[in-house]
A and B are shown apart, each in its own frame.
Chain A
Amino acid sequence: MEPDVLEGGFCNAPIDAAYAFRAAMNAMARPGQIETVAGAQPPGPLSVSAGVVILTLCDPETPIYLAGDHNCTQVRDWITFHTGAPMTGPADAIFALGKWSDLVPLDQYRIGTPRYPDRSATVIVEMDELSNAGETLSGPGIETATNLSLPDRQRFQQNATLYPLGLDFFLTAGDRLAALPRTTKIAGVS
């Protein structure tokens, strides 16, 4: 284990995690709203915001699947040291993390069961950029409509048809994040 992986965690875990969770909750409650987070300095290719989400929500009870380039020694060691979360394959993952092209297809993740729709994966999608342009979103948490740059349309629409089952997403880029729960309806580019 490289000594670097010991760095970059929350300096004051209870406080940093409280602010980070508020941002993550606001994002999940208001799909399309972009929040800025801080507190983590994870090794590349992990973004600050994905690192913050992992430090805030992951622990030994949440198996993580790392897709593509994110499945590297530095990232694995950093997550293991700071959260204790075990690494796993997509079928058992509570959280999945990676670039969109590495994360698909989506049908490899757990979407919950009719009795327990909450037992579904949360997918953290690392993006180059995040902006309020592109696909038009509507649904719970959105007063009328909003826009968000999504990496895909059809797959998210497909996911929404599974409701109340389905996956929930965090979209992360740099120190910014947004969320897309299964309830959000996605129309075309406006």
Chain B
Amino acid sequence: MNEYNFAYLDEQTKRMIRRAILKGLAIPGYQVPFASREMPMPYGWGTGGVQVSAAVLTPEDTFKVIDQGADDTTNAVSIRKFFEKTANVAVTEETGEASVIQTRHRIPEQVLTEDQILVYQVPIPEPLRFLEPSEVETRKMHALEEYGLMHVKLYEDISQHGAIATAYAYPVKIEGRYVMDPSPIPKFDNPKMEMAAIQLFGAGREQRIYALPPYTKVVSLDFEDFPFEASKADQVCGVCGAEDSYLDELITDDEGGRMFVCSDTDYCRTRQGNIT
């Protein structure tokens, strides 16, 4: 007998979150307010993603958690253990084995399938927040589809840096209607968002849930003369040699030594296994 209710949350909380998820799926890209609960971890450690995962998990699921692509960082390990203990679900580090993947700031390199669900941890769900601090105003801007300010911001990037310098949390437009924050994933991952899996976004501190059904149209904002570019470090992985995967830069000594390695640890390990 487990001393927790299945997946930690009480049933009424799960119903409230589940209703928010369904409305989120019905209005892709729109941020649904929900009564976020205190979780046994601090805000900023994925409480939104954890609540969404708790509402979505079934006992048959296989759960994977990644933090910046890695399965073995503190945040990923502790959330994985949390659901091992409270929901008694199987866990995995293999992307292909997982039915529910909770992620902080990356989309796995391996293409996700219809049978998978990707749950994002979101710090600031409102893409306009750094341009307009008032929730009353940003809500009105979404209602009126008034997104000129976001284009001004991207234009200022170009006028200052000669290119759109925004490299992560790159704003996207959903089905030609809502501008959405894809969470702080690198813009390299933006094109992957038109996928076969269901994508759910949870922001615990900010109390918002939003969602993308499979195959929803996701367009990264840009200009005709400055088109969107899914950029990454112009290197290959120093461990597995991948040319197509998003790379982290690691400092290896105090004499300027550095190397680039895949940020997706499962992808890198799988490739290493195939090479040897």
| A25–B21 touching, CB < 8 Å | yes
Nearest-neighbour CB distance to chain B for A58, whole angstroms, equals: 7
Contact between B213 and A21 (Cβ–Cβ < 8 Å)?
A: no
Chain B residues positioned under 8 Å from A116 (CB to CB)? 33
Assess whether B25 is in contact with A58, with CB atoms less than 8 Å apart. Answer: no
Among B12, B27, B143, point to the contact of A183 (Cβ < 8 A).
B27
Partner of A140 from the list B11, B28, B55 (CB cut-off 8 Å) is B28
Chain A residues within 8 Å of B56, by CB: 21-22, 25
Q: Which residues of chain B (6-49) have a CB below 8 Å from chain A?
A: 6-7, 11-12, 14-16, 18-28, 30, 32-33
Q: What are the residues of chain A within 8 A of B15 when measuring CB–CB?
A: 17, 56-59
Q: Could you tell me if A164 and B27 are in contact, using CB atoms closer than 8 angstroms?
A: yes
Contacts of B25 in A (CB 8 A): 25, 28-29, 141, 181
Looking at the complex, which of B121-129, B214-222, B229-237, B256-264 is the stretch in contact with chain A? B214-222
Task: Check B177–A164 contact: CB distance below 8 A.
Answer: yes
With beta carbons under 8 angstroms apart, the residue of A13, A21, A120, A139 that contacts B55 is: A21
Residues of B within 8 A of A (CB): 5-7, 11-12, 14-16, 18-28, 30, 32-33, 55-59, 139-140, 142-144, 175, 177-178, 196, 198, 211-217
A to B contact number (C-beta, < 8 Å): 109
- A residues in contact (CB < 8 Å) with B: 13-15, 17-19, 21-22, 24-26, 28-30, 56-59, 61-62, 114-118, 120, 122, 139-143, 163-164, 168, 181-183
Q: Which residues of A contact B140 (CB under 8 A)?
A: 115
Cα-based distance from A61 to B26 in the complex (angstroms): 20
Q: What chain A residues lie within 8 Å of B55 (beta carbons)?
A: 21
Q: Are B22 and A24 in contact (CB under 8 A)?
A: yes
Contact of B20 with A118 in the complex, beta carbons under 8 Å: yes
User: B175 near A18 (CB under 8 angstroms)?
Assistant: no
Other-chain contact of A182, B27, B57, B178, B217 (Cβ < 8 Å): B27
Asked if residues B7 and A118 are in contact (CB atoms below 8 Å), the reply is no
Does the CB pair A57–B19 fall under 8 Å?
A: yes
